[in-house]
Every structure is written in structure tokens, then in C-alpha cells.
Amino acid sequence: MAPAMARWALFCGLWAVRARPVAERLSGCGDGALGPDLASYWLVSTWHGPAPDRVGSGSAAGGHANRTDLSELREFNVRPLLLHHCVVHGNVADFLDEAWMTGLRVVVELQPLLFVEPSVGCFMTNFDCYQRIKVAYRQLLSQSGIWSDGEYHPAVQALLLARDPVALASAVLGEGDVRSAQAALLGVVSAWDGVLGAEMDLGVARPVPLDITVLLPMALPAAAQTSTDACFRKKASQGGCAGPHSLRAMYMTAWQVPGYQRTLDLPDLTRRGFWPPPDPPIEEAVYVPHNDVFSSFLSRWVQMFPGSPSLAEIVNYLRQFQEFLPNEYASSGGKYSSLVELNNTPV
């Protein structure tokens, strides 16, 4: 692996979401559908194949036990991990304490209804999620036990903003709508901005150790360019395009200077949020953040691959993203990849 890619691939995980064994060892964790809470929780533990009598182990059937390339994946810092969904019954802080003492980590997932709840979900109101997520995340930090006195609970490893926001956007705009991918990315970036705003309001200590991730398909549907276009072979700073590459597209969507904008045509200051105002077609919109989402993306992002891509697909995807980065970011300490298999997910 090239040295530059090795520096970027600081945290790559092979993630599996399976049915039971981890949760049985924690008193506050149960199965079931998502409730009305602002978030749900996923337990993370190392999983290397069949060992049903050990905490954090999986069964021999399904999952990553069927893969034969785990050794090769580890060369790219990809680790097999088990994620188990928990419906927390009782005090979340007690659940996190027990997970920490058991040697487990937790991924916090924002409630999907924050995005798609009729009339008030931010995907239902033009995909500007800043205010909705800022208010919800501030409430979550204040009430849930995942944060206290400026620090995240040590058991909390990552924040999952959304599972497959492209599918959520398609459900809102209509199946097959070509605007779904761009709308989903705008929603995700504005939601990230809301998370940063809530952290700023509550004085979360910098640098923040909490990773942030979103479950995106590797190839976005109905992308305007393809990987064979000339612009796809250029760096972002040289006019390169994202094409169907979801991580490149996320980079481009987040690559905005926070604050207010001026233009020659409209010299007055305009509000943060979507630009150009007031309501451009979603495919022409950019999101101007309140906070430095781009720097946060470089340092906190962890890519999650859905399904079960091959080793060659993973390496090619990461290589194409590495080639897209401007030279000044090529040696950044950012983290951006994991591999996910989802089974028995909550609805």
C-alpha cells in the first residue's frame, strides 16, 4: 500500500450487524424496533469467526465468517467487527458504563424520524437539516448520558448520522428521482453542521474524539458524470469531479467555507444555508455551513461500505478517493473507511 494511503487508512473496520450474542451480556440492552427516542445504539466488538461462548463473537453462519480475504483486508487496516443493535431499557448512562466495563464500544445512531417524520422531518422540509438536528442533538447530549462535562462517554466510539440517506431521500422525492443522491448529501452535510453547532453550544472539548459516519452506497445512483470522464481523473483542487463515487461526492458537498457569501449579482449578505437563495432546484444547491464541516469531515469521517464488496472493489474505491485529494490533504491524519454488513436491522 502506498505510504500516503497508509497514512489515510488509520481506521478501517469490517463491520457486521447480527442478531444476538453481544446484547445478552448487558442488562440494559434488548431487541426490538426503534422507539420514539432521539437515538438508538449499536454495540461494537471484535469478531473473528465462531466462538459462541465469548462476548462479542458471532456464529459460523453468515457474516464475515464466509470471507476468505480477511488477512488481505487487514493489510489495509480493515478489521472484522460485530455491531449489534440495542434497544436500551433504562438509563443510557448505566448501559454505556456497563459496555465500557465489558470492553465494548458503542455507535450512536440518530433516529431516522428526525429526517423523515411527516411535516417536520428535515428531509420533508427541503433537506436543510441544520436546525432540526442541532436542537435534537443538543437535547440528546443533555439527557442521554453520552456526554458529560465537555467529554463524550469513553464507550461511545462513533455517531451514525443516517443509514442509507439516499434511500430516505428517494422515499421523499419519489423512487428513481435523479435528485435523490444530491438531496441526501445536502441533508447529511447540514445535519453534520447541526451536530457541530450543538457541540459548540455545550462546550464539547476539542479535538473531539468521536468519529462520524453515514451509510452511503459506494456508487451513487444517477450521477451526472461517470468514472470514465476526464474530470474524474483530476484532483478536486484541479476541477476534478466526484462522478458516482460517494466519498468523493461527500467531500465535494462538505467543501464549503462557513459563513455568509457575497456575489457580484447579489452584493447583500445572505443567510447561511442553501445557496443560491431562496429555493433553488436541489441539484443546483450548495450548503453553506455555520461551522467548519469540511475540517471536521477530514478528521472525523469513517466510511461505511454497505453490502459485501470484494477486496478489489474496496482498494479501488479508496485509491480513487486518495487520488482525488489535493496534495495538502494527502498526508492528513483523517480516517474514512469501514466495511459493513447489515442483518436484522431495526425499522
Query: For the chain, first and last CA: distance in Å?
Result: 39
In a domain, 269, yes or no: no
Q: Is residue 268 part of a domain?
A: no
Identify the pLDDT of residue 113. 92
Q: What is the pLDDT of residue 126?
A: 86
113 found inside a domain: yes
Nearest to 83, CA basis, from 325, 302, 315, 319? 302
For the record, the C-alpha cell of 120 comes out as: 417536520
The whole-number pLDDT of residue 127 equals: 92
Q: Is residue 129 part of a domain?
A: yes
Q: Which helix (H) or strand (E) holds 54?
A: none
What is residue 32's predicted lDDT score, i.e. its pLDDT? 62
Whether residue 267 is contained in a domain is answered as no
**Domain assignment of residue 297, yes or no:** yes
Could you tell me if residue 347 is inside a domain?
Answer: no
- Specify the residue for cell string 465469548: 54
Compute the C-alpha angle 8/193/227, nearest 5°: 50
Residue 266 falls inside a structural domain: no
The parent domain of residue 151 ranges over 3-261+274-342
- Give the helix ranges, DSSP H, for 57-210: 70-74, 92-102, 113-116, 130-143, 165-173, 180-202
The domain total for the chain is 1
- The reported pTM is 0.84
- The amino acid present at 262, given as its one-letter code, is R
| 10-residue mean pLDDT series, the chain (347 residues) | 40 47 57 71 64 37 64 73 76 90 89 92 92 95 87 93 93 88 94 96 88 90 70 88 92 86 49 58 82 92 79 88 80 53 51
**What does the block give as the cell for 334?**
483523517
